[in-house]
Amino acid sequence: MSRKLLKMWILQRPAHWLLLIALCVLTCAGYWLLWSEIRLEHAFKPLSKLTAGGRALAQSLVPDARRSSPDDFDLEEQLVVLYNRVPKTGSTSFVNIAYDLCKPNKFHVLHINVTANMHVLSLPNQIQFVRNVSRWHVMKPALYHGHMAFLDFSKFQIAHKPIYVNLVRKPLDRLVSYYYFLRFGDNYRPNLVRKKAGNKITFDECVVQKQADCDPKNMWLQIPFFCGHAAECWEPGSAWALDQAKRNLVNEYFLVGVTEQMYEFVDLLERSLPRIFHGFREHYQNSNKSHLRVTSSKLPPSDSTIKTIQKTKIWQMENDLYEFALAQFEFNKKKLMQPDNKHVQKFMYEKIRPK
């Protein structure tokens, strides 16, 4: 009965019914447009009206031309040289020139002192050291030095890496020097009692008796110093470590000299990086700092001892690295001069287009 009444009401008043439907449609459309406008307002809200946190985020995303421009980085005043010095390679003589000239040349010298003379930094110390060297701007320009293995700064998201330099020495000469140094000390600190003081066994006798102090494994030091902080670097006889040391020497070091040519090493550094090394040549020649830390008593090894050591794998690999470094150093010296060997090499820019 009710359905029939409803049908009759609709048929009798069609205009009212259509008006009701139109009103509903308009109401829904109005709500939809209002919601869309609110969403668009939020979507296009200007950066100037963001909250403080949002404003900071927006600024970090917009490139700052002054901050990001490489031209703003002062290559001279931000210069950092890292000398991860190998023990018994003449490093004390070189470093003392730096200490003498750091004040007139207006740069800082900092010694890296690691607990118990360890050559490898822990992971927390690695990242802290890298950040210190990179951000300690009041110390720049700077020369850092210490008995520490090569550390790759690119692993730590550092944009400007330090310039690495180093010296290498003939491996048997270095081992013999260290052997007698532990027993007799040197003229640098003559009153300091060394760890093996009183032990008068010669290096030759040590080799014959196959004692631990002259074990060829003790020569395994220059390779890991250039190889770095990987565990394999410190495995005596590792072919991978030798290859990595060579790669780093060529790709990561600005200059590697040899102890036997210290003056030539200093000369190349002064010509290349005068901001720090200005005056090093003259000081090396004319001061008393050119031959510091001479071992007080040292006997050269016999021919039979030399032959015995040279048969070992460790010596052969360490000598391989030394010869590799020497060849690279000689190459750098040669390219300093023009083919006539009388004039220093120069370069210029020409044929610049468009004019």
Helix/strand/coil for 295:
strand
Angle separating helix axes 239-251 and 313-336, nearest 10 degrees: 10
Q: What distance in Å separates the CA atoms of residue 231 and residue 278, rounded to the nearest whole number?
A: 38
Catalytically annotated residue among 147, 160, 229, 343: 147
Q: What distance in Å separates the CA atoms of residue 37 and residue 49, rounded to the nearest whole number?
A: 18
Residue with the two structure tokens 């210069």? 79
Backbone angles phi, psi at 236, to 5 degrees: -55, 130
Please answer whether residues 300 and 179 qualify as being in contact, where contact means their C-beta atoms are separated by less than 8 angstroms.
Answer: no
CB atoms within 10 A of CB 317: 22
Q: Residue 188: name the closest of 289, 83, 115 by CA.
A: 289
Question: Given CA atoms 279, 283, 284, 289 in this order, what sign does their dihedral have?
Answer: negative
Please answer whether residues 181 and 220 qualify as being in contact, where contact means their C-beta atoms are separated by less than 8 angstroms.
Answer: no
User: Is 16 marked active-site?
Assistant: no
- Strand pairing category for 253-258 and 108-111: unpaired
User: Is 160 marked active-site?
Assistant: no
Close Cβ partners of 117 (under 8 Å, ≥ 6 residues apart): 147
Catalytically annotated residue among 145, 160, 278, 291: 145
Helix/strand/coil for 24:
helix
Q: What distance in Å separates the CA atoms of residue 180 and residue 194, rounded to the nearest whole number?
A: 10
Residues designated catalytic: 145, 147
